[in-house]
Amino acid sequence: MVTRIVILLGLSGLALAGCGTLSDDRQTFDGVAFRASLSADKEDKRNFSVEVRDAAKSLAGAREAGRYEAVQHCIENFGNSRMSWSQGPDVEDADLQVADGDLILKGQCAGW
């Protein structure tokens, strides 16, 4: 009887161990999981700026990570992904604003 209980507990433990695997669900861009944050203007949420940390890991990936944050913001708040950039990701590398290694993008959602 005790043997059965020990075996059952052991099998239960093995079954549960498979459920607790850690996974990284973060989006990757050019193979890098960037940390990006978007801040919207309090007066007019259409206006936003995005900061993508450690852009030197992949400038192409950082551009897309910033664009991704902006698209999410515009869709969640205005129902579409249309936007205009005042400081966008589609410029030459030399024209990008990078401050302390972080890429800074600025734009405005098109609204409803």
Any idea where the domains of the chain sit in the sequence? 28-109
Residue 26 pLDDT > 90, yes or no? Answer: no
Q: 103 near 97, Cβ under 8 Å?
A: yes
Let me know if 109 is exposed, middle or buried by CB neighbors in 10 A (0-12, 13-18, 19+): buried
Nearest CA to 83 out of 66, 97, 70 is that of 70
Dump pLDDT digits (tens) for 68-102. 999 999 999 999 999 999 999 999 999 999 999 99
Tell me what the mean pLDDT of segment 99-107 comes to.
Answer: 98
The predicted model scores a pTM of 0.76
Nearest CA to 69 out of 31, 16, 106 is that of 106
